[in-house]
Amino acid sequence: MAAALVGGSFLSAFLQVLFDRVTSREFVDFFKGQKLSDELLTKLKMTIRSINRLLDDAEEKQITNRDVQMWLDDLKDAVYEADDLLDEIAYEGLRSEIEPGPQTNNIAMFRNLFSSRIRFNKRIVKMKEKLKKILDRLNDLVEQKDVLGLGENIGETPSLHKTPTTSLVDESGVFGRNDDQKAIVKLLLSDNAYGRSLGVIPIVGMCGVGKTTLCQLVYNNSRVQEWFDLKTWVCVSEELGVYKITKDILKEVGSKYCDTKTQNQLQNELKEKLMGKRFLLVLDDVLNAKYEDWDILLTPLKFGAHGSKIIVTTQNGNVASVLVTVPPYHLKGLADDDCWCLFEKHAFDDGDSSAHPGLEGIGREIVRKCKGLPLAVKSLAGLLRSKRDVEEWEKILRSNLWDLQNINILPALRFSYHYLPAHLKRCFSYCSIFPIDYEFRKEEMVRLWMAEGFLIQPKGNQKMKEVGDEYFDDLVSKSFFQESSSHPSCFVMHDLMNGLAKFVSGEFCYTLDDANGLRLAKKTRYLSYVRAKHGNLKKFEGTYEKQFLRTFLLMEQSWELDHNESEELDHNESKAMHDLLPTLKRLRVLSLSQYSYVQELPDSIGNLKHLRYLNLFQASLKNLPRIIHALYNLQTLILRECKDLVELPNSFGNLKHLQYLDLFGTSIRKLPNFVIDLCNLDTLILCECKDLTELPTNMGSLINLHHLDIRGTNLQEMPLQMGDLKHLKF
């Protein structure tokens, strides 16, 4: 089963992961080893295929059909249930490998082994019963397809209709783009095409930042008009298709009867039309482009005169890298003053706010919320144009932009999301659990995605981390993530992108804070908790829905408490966390970062059999519980700046899937010998472990170790075997 890679449904990538798991040799072998019928697995595979064929149609129809939207939510909930169960089965298989029964004649040991086997068999029987129920639920949903009018996908890319752009522009309504216009005009009139006769200028920026408007200004610039013999404007708004674009260019230059001609005829005619003429071609809103298609499209265009230029607007940096002959022009948002001028023109009669002095201050605050996006500014101005009551303006100021009706921000940004590959949709929507303006690092995000199973199994020798890096770079190139202006190594989401992520994730992602209170839905799987002054965590303890959570991130608070308040809150939340952890049995991600009140972990953490990511940054831990060895799925363990931590438990070597271990700034004195049993360890951070004086002699056994940071330690020498690690970087 192949997941849709362009514009596919959010769920298709999830189903691909499920399908890969069900068909894996390890999974099938475990099923057979427990003498379980593979009939259930066969039925599950068939059901997954049936669901997958409905997804693209359902995702498109949910936009206008509430029943389909509810059906998709129910389906997503059921798929999460199936994934939890399959993960539980895989865990039992992993445990049977890591902890084989002891070979002994001791009667007491035999009884314990016998008793353990009985418990294991009961768990397997329960799993089989759960699998049957989940299959029934999935099949019931499939059977609803006819009532909902859902058709099966036969390979077409889903489509949304977008109003085509044109070259016309009202220059009196454009502000703050003079410098940008001059820069592009200079590129157009220059001979610098890096040795090529035809120059291509990509303008890159996020949706709504004003790429089309800038192009329109340039297209109608008087110097540009004089310089070029021919000018053509083509709105692409989809993947770059050679036949359609060639036909559209010919129509622009006056050709007739294009619809009945072959691609060969079209290209030859275009060659004749452009021969010896200096032309400007604008390809507006290119979503995707393959090099092969681009190369074919360029063939007749190369017959134009020297100095011909093509401008391509795109929010996808990867498109720019395919088409580029000059460095991409990255278009930024407008300054606040320019945004205000744009807002004033559209919100007030004759573009003058002086008749309404009470509204200007509120209006400027509203404009600041738009973070430089002209599309957002213009949409809100249009919404407020007929309103002159201060209270109505203040209501808009306090509102979430995504709650407002009759503004076109949502359709425009949703269009960008719609054409994301299915695997990127999951990764992007997950980011809705982060607060607005939250800064994140690439490695942090990729490891969270990996823990949640969002990354499709790589082919060949590629590592899962490398797959995640590619996903992240794609979202950056498509302007869903932006580099932070304050910390170059970090990234942020524009406020409207954050809103888009929250919109498309629905109830499945949630942020718990003082503002929105406690409204956890049964469907919620991913939760961030912004620490509240009054300890929301304790209130959260009693909710039934928490048991379904997969991610639980505690975020740093943005306010300060005095010493007594802080101690009281720490005490209350520490107790609440100890009571809470045993109930969160489906967690993949647990982050208690920067919560110093965490002085010890309860033994119940050993029950988190799905856990893959554990962040205890700056916790006051002195040691880890021995039961941590039961976290066989753990991939990432962050103990950074746990300054009281002096040792790791002897059972630590059982964490066979651990890839990333961060011990930065801990008080570890010696790295124990069992660390060499961490056969999948890729990254080991020992930086600033000032009490660390030696490493195990057989560190050379860590054949997958690629990164080792030992700066600021007191290591006197390195084990000789370290020289055998060919891929190791210090």
Kindly state the percentage of the chain with pLDDT values over 90: 36
What is the architecture of the domain spanning 171-330? 3-Layer(aba) Sandwich (3.40)
490-724 CATH pick, 3.30.365.10, 3.40.50.720, 3.80.10.10, 3.30.413.10: 3.80.10.10
CB 287 within 8 A of CB 238: yes
Distance CA(675)–CA(392), nearest Å, equals 62
Higher pLDDT, 595 or 183: 183
Identify the pLDDT of residue 106. 55
Instruction: Answer whether residue 506 shows pLDDT above 80.
Output: yes
Kindly state the percentage of the chain with pLDDT values over 70: 85
Distance CA(229)–CA(222), nearest Å, equals 13
Distance CA(49)–CA(18), nearest Å, equals 11
pLDDT band with cut points at 50, 70 and 90 for residue 543:
low
Instruction: Answer whether residue 38 shows pLDDT above 80.
Output: no
Which stretch of 51-60, 174-183, 530-539 has the lowest confidence by average pLDDT? 530-539
Query: Coil, helix or strand for 589?
Result: strand
Per-domain residue ranges of the chain: 10-148, 171-330, 336-410, 490-724
Residue 378 makes CB contacts below 8 A (sequence gap 6+) with: 342, 343, 346
DSSP string, 275-329: TT--EEEEEE---B--HHHHHHHHHHHTTSPTTEEEEEEES-HHHHHHH-SS--E
The per-residue pLDDT for range 389-413, each reduced to its tens digit, is 888 888 888 876 655 555 556 666 7
The per-residue pLDDT for range 112-129, each reduced to its tens digit, is 544 555 555 677 778 788
Ramachandran bin of 453, using left for φ above 0, alpha for ψ from -120 to 50, beta for the remaining angles: left
Distance CA(4)–CA(6), nearest Å, equals 6
Distance CA(13)–CA(694), nearest Å, equals 45
Identify the pLDDT of residue 110. 46
DSSP string, 202-246: EEE--TTSSHHHHHHHHHT-HHHHHH-SEEEEEE--SB--HHHHH
Query: Coil, helix or strand for 451?
Result: helix
Which stretch of 3-17, 280-294, 536-550, 716-730 has the lowest confidence by average pLDDT? 3-17
Distance CA(562)–CA(211), nearest Å, equals 49
Burial of 400 (0-12, 13-18, 19+ CB in 10 A): exposed
Higher pLDDT, 159 or 264: 264
Instruction: Answer whether residue 193 shows pLDDT above 70.
Output: no
CB 426 within 8 A of CB 448: no
Instruction: Answer whether residue 545 shows pLDDT above 80.
Output: no
Residue 330 makes CB contacts below 8 A (sequence gap 6+) with: 204, 205
The per-residue pLDDT for range 354-377, each reduced to its tens digit, is 888 889 999 999 898 888 989 888
Residue 419 makes CB contacts below 8 A (sequence gap 6+) with: 6, 7, 160, 238, 287, 288
Tell me what the pLDDT averaged over the chain comes to.
83
Residue from 303, 341, 310 nearest 325 by CA: 310
Identify the pLDDT of residue 322. 81
Higher pLDDT, 24 or 660: 660
Identify the pLDDT of residue 65. 86
Distance CA(421)–CA(424), nearest Å, equals 5
pLDDT band with cut points at 50, 70 and 90 for residue 2:
very low
Mean pLDDT of 453-478: 88
Instruction: Answer whether residue 709 shows pLDDT above 90.
Output: yes
Instruction: Answer whether residue 49 shows pLDDT above 50.
Output: yes
Identify the pLDDT of residue 533. 53
Instruction: Answer whether residue 160 shows pLDDT above 60.
Output: no
The per-residue pLDDT for range 219-245, each reduced to its tens digit, is 999 999 999 999 999 998 777 788 989
What is the number of other CB atoms lying within 10 angstroms of the CB of residue 156? Answer: 10
Distance, CA of 683 to chain centre: 23
Identify the pLDDT of residue 181. 97
Q: Do domains 171-330 and 490-724 have the same CATH topology?
A: no
